[in-house]
Amino acid sequence: MSRETGVWFVCATLFAFAAACQTDSGARPAVLADPQPGTLDEVRRAASVLVGRARVELGAGDLQRQSVVSVLPPPLGPHETHSLARPDQLNIVLMGPRCYLVHPETGQAEGLAGIDCRALNEAP
């Protein structure tokens, strides 16, 4: 294989790989449309499934304006003085008409039952 052919082969392979990585899953960033009583309980429930903990505490944020949910690390134990744990960041997304919470590192999604969302770029 000539050098020029090799360069074209590498470029074509990289282009094909990049195109494959950009497939559209149909998920759109979303925010809560109209929080009702119990909405944050449902968000906590879904977050606890995604991070694998029975109880979670959500970080500060307006979920009617931002699509990222912060899940705070567990509190320190009685014999701990500090922790290097960082909050988990989860994304609220619309897939079709349904609203989901998605862990971006694992790709795992958990449906948000009974919660109305709107696409992040839609006017309220």
29-67 residue pLDDT tens: 999 998 888 899 999 999 999 999 999 999 999 999 999
Tell me what pLDDT residue 8 has.
Answer: 38
Rounded CA-CA distance 93/110 in Å is 10
pLDDT higher than 70, residue 96: yes
Mean pLDDT, rounded, for 17-29? 56
Residue 51 lies in a domain: yes
**Structural domain includes residue 108:** yes
Is 15 among the domain residues?
Answer: no
Nearest 10 degrees: Cα torsion 34, 39, 43, 44: 150
Q: What is the C-alpha separation between 33 and 30, in angstroms, rounded?
A: 9
Range of the domain at 110: 26-73+83-124
pLDDT band at 23 (very low <50, low <70, confident <90, very high): very low
pTM summary value: 0.75
Overall number of domains in the chain: 1
Reduced to 3 states (helix: H, G, I; strand: E, B; else coil), residue 107 is coil
